[in-house]
Amino acid sequence: MTSTSSDPANSPQPAVSEAEQRLSARLGAVLFRHRGWLPVPFLLVPLLAHGTIDAMSWIVGLAFVAFGEAIRLCGVAAAGTVTRRRSRTVQRLVTYGIFAWMRNPLYVGNFLIWIGFTIISGVLWFIPVAVVLFAIEYTLIVRYEEGVLESIFDEDYLAYKARTPRWIPRPPGTDDDEGEHDWGEAWRSEISTFLQYAVIAALFVAKQRFGLPF
């Protein structure tokens, strides 16, 4: 189902939940505001470090990228772009579609995408490092987001949180309602993301052909 809050302009500001006040959530708030820069080390290290790029690394890596982007598209189609802003204002709680399987599909998709590019780079020693960095960064960010959602949606969010895993997908119960998906908006909103993938792939082609690092 989808739980929609009342008009934010006419509603009193919700009380700040205990979860949102915890240290992990406050640290996550800082990372949340700057999360657009967090992928930088996941690009620079694979680009600059020595690695062997071959056909198999491209095949496996692109499979990870495609799978991760498919998850992202499902999340964006369900949630829309309104829930992906950097402010604390959240207008609705999306609990259907892929959000009925896991609470953070966009972050799971991002993780698979960047692991895919690391595989392409051939810098395989960086994969466990990337997993640890992602785990720390996304865990803190999610703690902040969960605190905000608990502040705004209270029992509705706690019920959703109790039945839906954070990271590892699980089939939802049969009583979960299906909401609307805007696939056209999802594809349009991801155009800039696709262009970023093309640029990154071109950099790895240059690294493979000319023996970069730069």
Place of tokens 């600059």: 48
Alpha helices by DSSP H, listed for 53-175, are 55-79, 105-121, 126-153, 155-163
Q: Does some domain include residue 8?
A: no
**Structural domain span for residue 129:** 18-210
4 - beta bridge partners?
92
Asked if residue 3 is part of any domain, the answer here is: no
The pLDDT assigned to 3 comes to 39
Angle at 68 between CA 56 and CA 130, to 5 degrees: 75
Whether 114 maps to a domain, the answer reads yes
Q: What is the pLDDT of residue 60?
A: 97
Per-residue confidence (pLDDT) for residue 84, from 0 to 100: 53
Q: Residue 13 has what pLDDT?
A: 56
- In CATH, what number is assigned to the domain containing residue 203? 1.20.120.1630
Predicted local confidence at residue 17, as pLDDT: 66
Within a domain: residue 77?
A: yes
Q: Is 7 part of a structural domain of the chain?
A: no
What's the pLDDT score for residue 113? 95
The residue type found at 142 is V
For residue 9, the model assigns a pLDDT of 42
Residue 10 lies in a domain: no
**Which residue, 86, 83, 77, 106, is CA-closest to 33?**
86
pLDDT value for 92: 80
What's the pLDDT score for residue 67?
97
Number of domains present in the structure of the chain = 1
Closest Cα partner for 38 from 53, 28, 50, 49? 28
Per-residue pLDDT of the chain (214 residues; tens, 9 = 90+): 333 333 444 445 557 766 666 776 677 677 778 777 777 777 888 888 888 899 999 999 999 999 999 999 999 999 886 555 555 566 688 999 999 999 999 999 999 999 999 999 999 999 999 999 889 989 999 999 888 888 888 898 999 999 999 999 999 876 555 778 889 999 999 999 999 999 999 999 988 887 765 4
Is 2 part of a structural domain of the chain?
no
pLDDT of residue 43: 83
In a domain, 4, yes or no: no
The pLDDT, as a whole number, for residue 88 is: 57
The reported pLDDT for the residue numbered 123 is 93
DSSP-derived letter for residue 83 is G
